[in-house]
Amino acid sequence: MTWVMAALITGGWIMWALHAAVLQQRIRGLERRNRALVAAVEAGRRCERTGVWTRAAWSNEARPLLEECQDPAVLFVDLDQFKQVNDTWGHSAGDAVLAVQAERITEVLGPTAVVGRFAGDEFVAALPELADPGVLDRLVEALAEPIQLADGGWLAPSASVGVAEVSQIRRVTRTQPSLPQWVGAADAALYQAKLLRGRWVRYEPWMRTAQIPRQQTPRQYRPALPSPPRIVMPVRAASAQS
């Protein structure tokens, strides 16, 4: 009986040691990743607020996908009514929203995506291919999940997404598109998505000629006047009031 107990104890120690070794390996991997991220931020290649690629760095990282993949896709993401977040709750709240939404984009699209911050409230993501169109629904849904602010309140955001696949652009250009043409097609699709708000729209060739400059948008194409993003009361506070 004694040898059985000794074997069990020895086996337990071995399993614990293996688990500890795996955990240490993961910790070292995270440390290397953090060091690389800090170095990239210091070099101006990563956005300090969100950790994704800056606009210039994103172009360099995304270009190989355009040149080497058969039918890559680019997503242009715009956070709806983001200016009102800054104006109403301050820039610290805006920075928190940017960080959360950037993390959601990266998580939903996965490790093969090249994600960058293009402008204040605009993100771009390049994919080797759009193998699962359902990822677009999951992305829009994820970007509409409530975000808790520092004061305990909850912001219910939304985002609009324009999607452009190289195969669709070739139908117009008859040649391999350049990176600006690729992004421009996604921007044209985003323009249509913004008219609906909180949706994704795939690029179609007619969108390049149908796109109207926003300052010249006729009344019938103009979206409704924006309203501030709604606040969802924290669950605990809401239950206390009922």
72 phi/psi in degrees, rounded to 5: -70, 165
What pLDDT score does 11 carry?
55
Q: What's the rounded Cα separation, in Å, for the pair 208 and 187?
A: 9
Average pLDDT, the chain: 79
Residue 117 pLDDT more than 90? Answer: yes
Q: What's the rounded Cα separation, in Å, for the pair 237 and 215?
A: 42
143 neighbors 159 (Cβ within 8 angstroms): yes
Name the residue with higher pLDDT: 117 or 41: 117
Name the residue with higher pLDDT: 71 or 240: 71
Mean pLDDT value of segment 104-121: 96
Confidence of residue 223 (pLDDT cuts 50, 70, 90): very low
What pLDDT score does 240 carry?
32
Q: What's the rounded Cα separation, in Å, for the pair 45 and 221?
A: 38
Residue 57 pLDDT more than 70? Answer: yes
Residue 192 pLDDT more than 60? Answer: yes
pTM of the model: 0.71
Name the residue with higher pLDDT: 47 or 149: 47
Name the residue with higher pLDDT: 37 or 228: 37
What pLDDT score does 226 carry?
41
Mean pLDDT value of segment 105-117: 97
133 phi/psi in degrees, rounded to 5: -60, -20
What pLDDT score does 230 carry?
47
Q: What's the rounded Cα separation, in Å, for the pair 47 and 104?
A: 15
CB under 8 A, 24+ apart: contacts of 45-50: 47/102, 47/116, 47/117, 49/95, 49/98, 49/99, 49/117, 50/98, 50/99, 50/102, 50/103, 50/117
Percentage of residues of the chain with pLDDT beyond 70? 68
Active site residue 132: no
Residue 232 pLDDT more than 80? Answer: no
Taking Cα atoms as reference points, which of 9, 138, 136 lies closest to residue 74?
Answer: 136
- Exactly one of 71, 78, 80, 121 is catalytic; name it: 121
Q: What's the rounded Cα separation, in Å, for the pair 126 and 130?
A: 10
What are the tens digits of pLDDT across the range 135-178? 999 999 999 999 988 888 888 999 999 999 999 898 888 888 99
What are the tens digits of pLDDT across the range 1-16? 565 555 545 555 666 6
